[in-house]
Each structure stands twice: as structure tokens, then as C-alpha cells.
Structure 1
């Protein structure tokens, strides 16, 4: 091209391809959860021929993440398009979600075998690139109950799968041992077992997970490899068996933990240890509908830093306050996984003065008396930075006074440490949420917060954010004082009577 004409072109046409590639990469996002045709790379390839060439041939990462939905007769994106994307991705690892969306039975007008062949075409196409699967989510819970799952046979070589999420589903009365669910779940287990790099596994849905996990069957997810785990609709016993086999686990979520019958009949149960130690686990989140006291009785987590327990609305009365306190005591006593086999006596538990190094604890709808809650706070006092208590718990005068800082005397330069100061509860507390749980005398709660906000002691942390909700109207002084603090710069909010907010809520800070 003539140099003069080239200089007269707009800058976008004179930009080197390498610069355009960098710009395009800033526009790209992971398409494995959802795909928007108005965003990169699809808007780029429809702009002009030059951009299309760069996005199509120079950036294979654009085509390595995608979202696929299919029915009995159709696929989105269409199979030819999906095949083209797979070719454009070259040899890069693939991240995708595969979801079936259809009715619960076959259309009567088509030949059944023909429908099955069409239906599993997207899975068969993706299975041709099985060795490149890296981050995958599979949801086939809408598959017709009268079909047979036909996965392609797995390759002999190891897979590069790192994160794997699946959705289970309840069996239909017409399901049988040679039908959909067993084949589907065995395929999932074999995929996980063939993936030495698998570190994250998620299973959602309320299907019979024992057939998937194979706790007492030959097929099994490799629990020992996992560092992140999420399971939905699982029994306390099965959860403990899984934790017993997950020595490397760092983060774990059990949603809808309960007393379900999830063992395969006529097969022996593996033996549970008396003390189940999960040495590396730092984050545990639990959602449950009823008592899960037996879950805490054996569990020991010495490195736990974050605990979230949410009892679902309408759940039965919760009677595990003492069980949770003893869990903290055992976890504080056992500092090394080698001690897991030792018996823990009641006398040893009584001597424990601190629990695991929990910095954030969230208890919602847990029906905890003040005595039990106070015991937990004392055990976690040294490390606790964020305390969240919502609904059904009791924060009374005694506990509020324990959290209130004593009057600290300034000698003109710094605050002197005293024996009283050294015994202060939760010296590192920075975030506090108390909603519909305060049963203390009016004025004590605001005084406690003010004491933690106004001090200038270098060894104590100041509150950064508070969220207070009073379920009773007799807290006028508390409300007035807290509203004043909010106007003076405290982050958070205050409300009185459930559902009626009386002070503007500012942006809450988080870690």
C-alpha cells in the first residue's frame, strides 16, 4: 500500500495485529456459564474482515469456553457451529457447561432410537476432545426418564480435568438398574477418577448421590485429591465419611445437610473413626433443616478460619449449642493430625481455653442461648474478626457486657496495658452483625459498640462496620446513639422492629 495512503487511514486500520490482540483480550470473558452474542468474541468477528481474521485465527482462547444447551432434537449452538468452535480452540484446555433442556418423555412421533442418537450428539462431539476438558459443568437432570444414557467410552490416558460440577436428580418410578441414573453417575465417577489434577468437585440436586460418589462401591470420586468441595442434599454420616477421606481439603460446603437414607442397600458400611480430623480445612459452610449434632460429635478441624451455619427457615428446634462448643474445644486441643487416633477425655476438654483460629463465624437461625453463644465467643476470642448472628439466638446483658471494652486510661502518649485489658474479649473484632437476636437492656448495645469504636489503643482493633437490627421496639436509646455514630462515619446500618429500617445503610466493608 502506498505510504501516503496508509498514513491517511484511520488509526484503527493502522494498529498492528499484536496490539489488537491485546485489546481484544481485555474484552474477552469466560463464556462457560453463559454466552452473549453481543460480547466478545462474537461482536468482534462481526465488525470487519480484519477483526474477524484476528479473533478467529490468532486468539484460540476465545473459542475454548462456551455454554451448550440441547434438547431431544436441537442444540444451541448448532452442532456445526460447536464443531467449528472446537477446531478454532486448537489444543487449548476447554471450559464449558453442558445442560439438557427438554420434556420428561420422548415425543411419540419419532423413532426412539433415532431420537436418542440425535439427543446425545452434543455430548459425543465434546467427548472427541475429552483429553482437553478442564473446567466442566454437566446438568442432565431433565433427561427423559425412559432413555438410556450412552456416554462414549473413556480414553486410557489421563485427563486434565481440574474442576468438575454435576447435577444429580431423583429417580423416576420407571428407572431401573440398567437405565439412566446408574450409567450417568458411573460415568461421572470414572471421569473424576481418571483426572489426577482434579481439585474441585461440586454436586447439586437431590438425587441419590451414593450412586455417584460410590462411598461403598467400586467407583468413587478421588476425595484425597480435592481441595474444594460442594455437596447438596447429603446425610451427616455420608458427609463424615467424605471428610474422613479428604485430608487435603481446604474449603467445604454442605448444603441441605440432614438425616437422609443415602446408602446403597445390602452393601457394608465403611468404618467411621472416633475422631475425624480434617487438618487443612479452613472454610466450612453448612445449611441444614434439622439437628446435626452427630455431625459435630466426631469432627475436628484444627485450622478452621471461617464457619457459616445456616438453619433453614421453619427448621426444627436446634439443640447443638454444647455440641458445637465441644467441637471448638476438640479442634483447639488437636493441633496435629497425628493426634487424631488418641482418645479425648472430658477432663482434657475442660482444660481447653481456645478453639481453632476462626476469624469469621456466621450463625443464622440457630436458636442459640446466650450461655452457649458466650462460650463459643470466648473460645474464639483471640482470632475472631467478624461475628454474624442473625435470628433466634440470644444476646443478653451478660454477653454484651463481655464484649464491651473497659474504660482505658490514656497517659498522654499511649494506652497502658492492664490485667483487665489483657482479658478483653475479641480484641481483633472489626465487623459485627447482630440482627433479631438482641435481648439486652436498652443502651448497652450502643455503649458496647461505642467502646470498640472510640478507643485509641494500639493493641486493639476498632470496629469498621456494624449492622444492628432490633426485633423489639424498646431500644430507643440504642437506636439514637447508633444512628449518630452512622452519621459520624461508622459504616453499616441499624433497624428497629423486623423489616423496618430507620437509618440509612451505608456501603458495608468486607475483607
Structure 2
């Protein structure tokens, strides 16, 4: 037997790197990166969270306080967090709520207040017990009116028309937003609201959801040189509406409701003749129209308008000329408007086609909606008139159409309680525009590296509600397109 000894093999040396994880500092006790954030920064994050919270401010703040002991300490020690007041007076609210509000005001120190005040419930005790409690709370808030920054009032059934007057030395200098809502059956005068508006030189947003049938003595006090958002539920005549717009040089968003207007100069019910021309640089306009609205639209110039909504409360009455009353106004804004909305389609398909032909070159969003108005059964059938004639005009299928389709840049289409066409016609139109979007998207991906200025177009969002029709072919075709990525939804039934 041969035994080998003292034999050495020269093998290559292989060095395997070993990664040793760094030691965690002793100060880090958990995996959360928030533990390294200074308390001052966390406090500002909490403030932003409360500003964006979808639930009530009180619940959001309690969520922060119950997360951990450190967060509770930060919340309790940050006065700005307690400047968010979410006050709700319910049927069974106790008198301790007043003390809670006073504690919040004390904790908030001198920070600007963001107040949400509402009275919930419709029981018989609310106007009595809840009403007295709400008045006491409101009187407490009025003592801090110089700190009001944003206020939202929802008064339920109690009109709260006997609120205290302002002290001479207290003026809401920093107040920027006022929103008021009331479900009261009575007709309060809201004198205190007029006084509040009159003393708010820096007001930028005013939203009025008071029932339009109520008297509104606050309107003569309106003079908003810095207003940018105005939403009023009160029914105004055309001259007053134009006067308000003229007094707001930086107005951006305007929602108004107009009295009935037949379109004939001899039948005008405006108290004063409207001015010759009114120029406004707003970008969003929503007008609730009864009749034609001609007295309001004719003198109005809006060169920057992008979003326009017509809320039709009655069928449009035609004047001596055969054209639809809003066509002249649409021609003026056709180069800037990209979003057009109609609530309650009280117009013929010919009038609708005329509107779309005017806005066709730049229109990207078309919405035809049903509002919450109390309409009769006959009215509901009359607004169900988005017919095959309009659908065919919107089709972009080059193989079947001998003309250029309307609204070639249309990207968003919403239809509620208005589709009345042969089954399958609507889905064919949507398919032609959806295929265009897919093609444009593919072309954009191919050309993106060469030309960054390529702009995609084509329908990518489609919402529809079929009310009184089955539309089985449309259902199947739309389901297939949804699976391919078409956004939106398809609903059936009267709800």
C-alpha cells in the first residue's frame, strides 16, 4: 500500500465578503422612521393631517392622541392643533359641550380658528334644548371673532336669527372663508350674517346654501373686493348678479341662480337695466337658469372661462330669433372652455348639437347630469333625450361616418338619466373613441423619446346610467371595454 505524506496543494484563495449590518443607535427603539422626526415637525404634520381629514376634526384629533403616549403629548402641547373646532349639537347633547368648547378655545391660545358648527337632528327637542345650547356656544365663539379664519355653519331646523351683535372692538380681519347652510322651514333674515360680511375685508370664499325662498337681507352688505370663490343659492335677478360680478375683480369661481327670464326685453323682470358690458376673468361658471337667461349672458364677457355649467330648471324659451339663447355666449367662450356640463337636459337634440358644434374644437369633458330637483314624471321622460342623432354625431369611426366627428378632443363623458337610443348604438360610439385613445396612447409611447410635445386624445372615462332601458348589447360591450381599461362605470335602474 502506497501512503502519501507531506503533500501540499496550492489552491487559490477565495475571499468571500461578509456584510455586517450597521449597529442601530441606542436611541432608536423601533422600526418607524417617525421616531427620528423632531416633535416640532410632527406637530406641523398633524396640523396638515387635520386640514385634509375626511372625517370629523374631533375624531381625527382623537385618533392622533390615542396612537401613542408621545403623540398624545405633542397634540396636547400644540396650540394650533386645538384651533380646529368641530362642534356638533345633537338631540341628546349635554351642557358639558359648552365647557368642552371653552377648553378648546383656551388650549388654542391665539391661533386663527377654523370652525365647523352644525346642529343635527330633527326631533322636537332640538329647537328648544339644543337651540339654547347652540346659542350659548355661538355667543362664546363670537367673543373670539377676531380669530376666525374659516367658519362653516349648518343650522338645521333652527334659523338662529337672534345672534348677538358684534362688539365694536372686535372685527374679523383675518376671516377668509364663510359657508352657511340652513334647512329651516322659517324665513330668517340673517342680519348677523350681513354684519359679519360687512366687517370681513379679507373674505375670499363665500358659500351660501340657504334655501332660496328665504329672505336674504345680507345681500346689500356684499362687497367683496378680494373674493375669489362665490357660490350663492339665493335666486337673483340678472342685474344684481352682474353687479356682484362687476364688484369682484379677482373672481375665479362663480355659482349663481337666476330668476325666470323669457328672453324678451319687454318682459324683463329685472329691477334695474343690466350694464352694457361686464368683464370677468373667472375660470369656472355655474348658472341655474329659469327660462332663457339671455338678460344675464348677453352683457357678460369671460375671456378666461374653462368650465361652464348650465343648470336648467325649466325648458328654454326661444325669442324671436330661431337660435338657442346661450349660443352667442358659447361662441364667445368656445376657444377657452374645455368642460361643459348640463343639468336637466331640457332641450331638443338639435339645440344640444348646436351647443356641441360651437364648443367642439377644444371640449375635453362633457357631462349631462340629473340634479336633485323635484321633477314630475313627465319632466323625467322629457330629459331622457340623448338620442341616436347626438350619439352618431359623436362617433369617431371613420369607416361609417362621412363627416368629422364632434368634439375630437373629448376625454371624459358622463351621462345620467338621458340616454334614449337604439341598443348598441351608444357602445359603438364609445368603442370608436376608446380605440382612438388606445391608438393615441401607443403612438405617444413610441414617439415619447423623439417628440415630447405629443398630446394624447380620445375617450378614457365614461360614466352612464340607464334609467328606463335594458340596453343588453351596450352592457356587454361596455363590460368588455372596462376589462381593457376604460374607466368609469355603467349603472342600470331608476336609483
Using structure 1 for the length normalisation, give the TM-score.
0.67
Structure with larger Rg: 2
Is the contact between residue 70 and residue 76 of structure 1 (CA under 8 Å) also seen in structure 2? Answer: no
- What does residue range 334-373 of structure 1 map to in structure 2 within 5 Å? 355=334, 357-373=336-352
The residue number in structure 1 matching 2:3 is: none
- C-alpha deviation, 1:209, in angstroms: 4.2
Residues 259-408 of structure 1 aligned to structure 2 (within 5 Å): 259=260, 271-275=272-276, 277-287=278-288, 290-291=290-291, 293-294=293-294, 296-298=296-298, 300=300, 301-311=302-312, 316-319=314-317, 325-330=324-329, 332-333=331-332, 355=334, 357-390=336-369, 392=383, 394-405=385-396, 407=398
Q: Residues 166 and 76 (structure 1 numbering): CA distance in 2 closer, same or farther, change over 3 Å? A: farther
**Cα gap change, 1:11/1:168 in structure 2, threshold over 3 Å: closer, same or farther?**
closer
Tell whether 2:460 aligns with 1:464.
Answer: yes
Equivalent in 487, 491, 494 of residue 491 of structure 1: 487
Query: Residues 452-508 of structure 1: CA distance to partner in whole angstroms, max 9, x if unpaired?
Result: 222446777121022345567585555544443333332334467x449xxxxxxxx
**Which sections of structure 1, spanning at least 5 residues, go unmatched?**
1-5, 108-114, 176-180, 215-219, 261-268, 334-353, 409-419, 501-511
**SS in structure 1 of the partner of residue 366 of structure 2:** strand
Q: What is the CA deviation profile of residues 188-210 of structure 1, one whole-angstrom value per residue up to 9, with x for unaligned ones?
A: 22322222221000122226343
Q: Is the 8 A contact 1:103 1:144 kept in 2?
A: no
Could you tell me which residue of structure 1 aligns to residue 165 of structure 2?
A: 151
- Given that residues 60 and 88 in structure 1 are in contact (C-alpha distance below 8 angstroms), is that contact kept between their aligned partners in structure 2? yes
CA–CA separation in structure 1 for the residues paired with 2:34 and 2:481: 55
Distance 1:454 1:199, change over 3 A: same
Aligned ranges 1:159-308 → 2 under 5 Å? 159-167=173-181, 181-182=188-189, 185-206=190-211, 208-214=214-220, 220-237=221-238, 238-254=240-256, 258-259=259-260, 271-275=272-276, 277-287=278-288, 290-291=290-291, 293-294=293-294, 296-298=296-298, 300=300, 301-308=302-309
- SS of the residue corresponding to residue 354 of structure 2 reads helix
Aligned to 1:126: 141
Deviation of the 1:150 alpha carbon? 2.3
CA distance in 1, matches of 2:470, 2:92: 63
Residue 265 of structure 1 corresponds to none
Structure 2: give runs of 5+ residues left out of the alignment: 1-24, 262-269, 371-382, 441-453
> Within 2, Cα distance between the matches of 1:431 and 1:74?
46
Alpha-carbon distance, 1:187 to partner: 2.6
The answer for the alignment partner of 1:451 in structure 2 is 432
1:86 aligned counterpart, secondary structure:
helix
Q: Which SS does the other structure have where 1:378 is aligned?
A: helix
Q: Give matches, 1:51-70, under 5 Å.
A: 51-57=71-77, 59-69=78-88
- Secondary structure of 1:187 counterpart: helix
Determine if contact 1:123/1:151 at 8 Å carries over to the other structure: no
Structure 1: how far apart are the matches of 2:149 and 2:64?
A: 26
RMSD across aligned C-alpha pairs, in angstroms? Answer: 4.4
1:91–1:454 CA distance, 2 compared to 1 (3 A) = same
CA distance change for structure 1 residues 484 and 282 in 2, over 3 Å: closer, same or farther? same
